[in-house]
Amino acid sequence: MLSLGKLALHHLAIKVIDLEACEKFYSQVLGLKPSKFPYDENGPTRSVWLQSEEVILMLEQVDKASKSASKSSTSVKPGLHLIAFAIGRFERNQWKERLTMNGVSIEAESDFTIYFRDPEGNRVALSHYPDPISEAA
């Protein structure tokens, strides 16, 4: 059996329609500190990241048409987007092997994160942000 570190919650991502109102709620009402404002390729802010102790809450912008999206549309409807657990970047290949050995299909990968689904179809991720895998070689 592979020896891996314990999982800690890394970040939660919520798809929202009104990014500005949600940012105000989480920062002004709940007191979370904004830490990053990623932009899309056209320039406008596409998400706001807020810090809650060691966990990042990511508010991800969706368009207003998405409000009425069907339940089968998991990538654009408002609501919980995914739950991400923190891993060490050097554990990434071991985690991929463990997932594969347990019949879990990897849906996507980025330089920081592995994405897959739980048995109910919820999106789950293992992330080593801000350490990109390209530096792990």
Task: Note the CATH architecture for domain 6-82.
Answer: Roll (3.10)
Residue 4: pLDDT band (50, 70, 90) is confident
How far apart are the C-alpha atoms of 19 and 121, rounded to whole Å?
A: 25
Q: Does domain 87-137 have CATH number 3.30.720?
A: yes
How far apart are the C-alpha atoms of 136 and 1, rounded to whole Å?
A: 23
Residue 132 scores a pLDDT above 50:
yes
Structure confidence by residue, pLDDT tens digits, 62-114:
876 555 544 444 456 788 888 888 889 999 999 999 899 989 999 999 999 99
> What pLDDT does residue 79 have?
83
Pairing mode of beta strands 8-16, 33-36: unpaired
Where are the chain's structural domains?
6-82, 87-137
> What pLDDT does residue 76 have?
65
Structure confidence by residue, pLDDT tens digits, 38-66:
777 777 788 999 998 889 999 888 876 55
